[in-house]
Amino acid sequence: MFAIKVENLTKEFDGLVAVDNVSFDIEAGEIFGLLGPNGAGKTTILSMLSTILKPTSGTAIVNDMDILKDEDGVRKSIGIVFQDPSLDEELTAYENMDFHGRLYRIPKNLRQERIDELLKLVELEDRKDGIVKTFSGGMRRRLEIARGLLHHPKVLFLDEPTLGLDPQTRNRLWQYIENLNKEKGITIIITTHYMDEADRLCDRVAIIDKGKIIALDPPHKLKEDLGVDVITIKSPDADKIYSEIQASWVKHIESNDGFVTINLENAEKHITEIVNLSSRNNIAIESLSIHKPTLEDVFLNFTGKTIRDQEVNSREHMLMHRRLRRR
């Protein structure tokens, strides 16, 4: 049973294609990740699915409702935690929750019961009368998630839920998200540019680059498809290493920003060969490491760039587009 079905969804802004003909399904009860750099189109996809933005073309079904034909029905059936803070800082935690419940016309007694239950769930019951502007970033994020669950949505959208949080707070928030999914059976869609977040939480991940889905599978499958091991070499002669190492045991090789990444099996057997080849060709190696594939390696394999590189390119592209529009 699918909670969401997306068909050929496209969004353009003044000729700039932010989302380019994407299609995918999300099963009920799944944690689904949209992984990619800032500017890849993740938030735009989320905005269309939650009916904040209308697509240029294509459509989607959310909880058996068409995002174009039944906007109100879709909105009543989903919860959303935005990337940017959306709490009223001058109100208490309880007042923020109560106001949200009134907007959804939840009866007073039921509203109070759910607020108490959810504040306890995110460990804020002792701070329910605290003014939000006195809360830490992690506390505010937990409150936003609790607020998004107040009307018992079938689907919860989390847009960069741990952005800017410290590692300890991120881990706690991940635990809340996992518990919500397991205990309440809520379908959760997360946008993130954190590889470890997608790897830890998501049943499946769609890797987004320049508005397109370039890979979609469970994280373990995406990593397994690259090969057993990854060798990463740092060298001022990275391009030279790339051109010299073209052996049959190499499954895939990339050279990027002073690093060479090699996907292969039984990496330990080939370390000596790589070092000897570099020595014979007077190629300097600053460092060499072996590790199992990560989602960063997957992204690099499909795009030839790291997520950080793509974020820089996206920002430069947006700036160029804005300059052209001003002329």
Distance of alpha carbon 106 from alpha carbon 150, whole angstroms:
9
DSSP tag of 131: B
- The least confident of 9-23, 51-65, 181-195, 310-324 is 310-324
pLDDT of residue 190: 96
Does the pTM exceed 0.85?
no
The helix (H) or strand (E) run that includes residue 293 is none
pLDDT of residue 313: 54
Asked if residue 141 has pLDDT above 50, the reply is yes
Count the helix, strand and coil residues of the chain and give each as a percent rounded to the nearest 5: 45, 30, 30
Distance between CA atoms of 136 and 221, rounded to whole angstroms? 37
- What is the reported pLDDT for 200? 94
Cα separation of 138 and 26, whole Å? 28
Q: What is the pLDDT of residue 325?
A: 43
Distance separating the N- and C-terminal Cα atoms of the chain: 50
- Note the pLDDT tens digit of each residue in 211-237: 999 999 999 999 888 777 889 999 999
Q: Is 242 helix (H, G, I), strand (E, B) or coil?
A: helix
pLDDT at 323: 42
Which residues in the chain belong to E strands, given as ranges? 2-13, 16-27, 31-35, 57-62, 65-66, 78-81, 155-159, 187-192, 204-209, 212-217, 229-234, 250-256, 259-264, 287-291
Instruction: Please name the residues in contact with 55: beta carbons below 8 A apart, sequence gap of 6 or more.
Output: 9, 10, 11, 19, 48, 67, 68
Q: What is the pLDDT of residues 97-129, one digit of tens each?
A: 999 999 999 999 999 999 999 999 888 999 999
Structural domains in the chain plus CATH codes: 2-222 (3.40.50.300), 227-292 (3.30.70.920)
Residue type, 115: I
Which one, of 262, 235, 266, 232, lies nearest residue 250 by Cα?
262
Check residue 308 and give its pLDDT.
Answer: 66
pLDDT recorded at residue 318 = 43
Q: What is the pLDDT of residues 27-52, one digit of tens each?
A: 999 999 999 988 899 999 999 999 99
User: According to the model, what pLDDT value does residue 221 have?
Assistant: 94
For position 324, what pLDDT does the model report?
A: 38
Length of the chain in terms of residues written: 327
The sign of the torsion formed by the CA atoms of 67, 69, 73, 76 equals positive
311 pLDDT more than 80? no
| Strand spans (E) along 130-268 | 155-159, 187-192, 204-209, 212-217, 229-234, 250-256, 259-264
